[in-house]
Amino acid sequence: MKRLFDLFFSIIGLLMLLPFFLLIAIFIKLNSTGNIFYLQERIGKDGVPFKIYKFRTMTANADKKGLLSLGKKDTRITEVGRFLRKTKMDELPQLINILKGDMSFVGPRPEVKKYTDLYTKEQREVLNVLPGITDYASLKYIDEEQILGASDDPEKTYVNEIMPHKIQINKEYLAHRNLLKDIKLIFMTVFKMFR
């Protein structure tokens, strides 16, 4: 049932947003050099890697200077990218990932291998399901870039504080998930985006 929901609404979403995608693509190209999309390897269900789609929000090859973003302190983020990140519109191309079956609308946000390699056996339970575009942890840490930007050691703050809390939130979601809760979370996410 969840896969049918994901498939149907990802197709509808892509068709409805296509003109909007073209507009964003134009702004990205006018603002900086590089590709429109940013593809990064993430770890999905059962630990299988996949390429996640995002609108590019940083200068070309910015990931070679580190994986974490530090919000306003991060000089790698373009002007258009700053707006896309603030509104979470950079995540919209992940509808392609949903269509391909790499992701779901709702599920634990996918991490890069560097961080999933640090998971304990219990924490790896979040890899038993498809990752999602949104989850309760994403709403809780909607200001994550600001938290990391204020830290003396962003990497340590992420690994020791934020990541374990996100995993705990996602484990609680997995224990009580259902389609109605997923739909509610989607609406909560859209509300936060437009607020």
Q: What is the H or E stretch that residue 133 is in?
A: strand 132-134
Which region among 11-25, 74-88, 131-145 has the lowest average model confidence (pLDDT)?
74-88
Mean pLDDT of 95-124: 97
Task: State the pLDDT at residue 65.
Answer: 66
In the predicted structure, residue 195 carries a pLDDT above the cut 70:
no
Residue 190 pLDDT class (50, 70, 90 cuts):
confident
Query: What's the whole-model pTM score?
Result: 0.89
Q: What is the pLDDT of residue 142?
A: 86
The SS3 assignment for 105 reads strand
Cβ neighbours, 10 Å, residue 26: 12
- Looking at residue 63, what is its pLDDT? 72
Of the listed ranges 15-29, 74-88, 176-190, the one predicted with least confidence? 74-88
DSSP 8-66: HHHHHHHHHHHHHHHHHHHHHHHHSSS-SEEEEEEE-GGG-EEEEEEE--B-TTGGGG-
What is the pLDDT, as a whole number, of residue 72? 60
Give the number of domains in the chain.
Answer: 1
Domain span at 141: 2-194
Whole-angstrom Cα distance, residue 185 to residue 138? Answer: 11
When pLDDT is cut at 50, 70 and 90, the band that residue 71 belongs to is: low
- Among 38-47, 63-72, 176-185, the minimum mean pLDDT is found in 63-72
Provide mean pLDDT across the span 96-117: 97
Full DSSP string of 113-175:
HHHHTT--TTGGGGGGS--EEE-HHHHHTTTHHHHHHT-SSHHHHIIIIIHHHHHHHHHHHHH
Q: Each residue of 111-150: pLDDT tens digit?
A: 999 999 999 999 999 999 999 999 999 999 988 888 888 8
What are the tens digits of pLDDT across the range 23-51?
Answer: 999 999 999 888 999 999 999 999 999 99
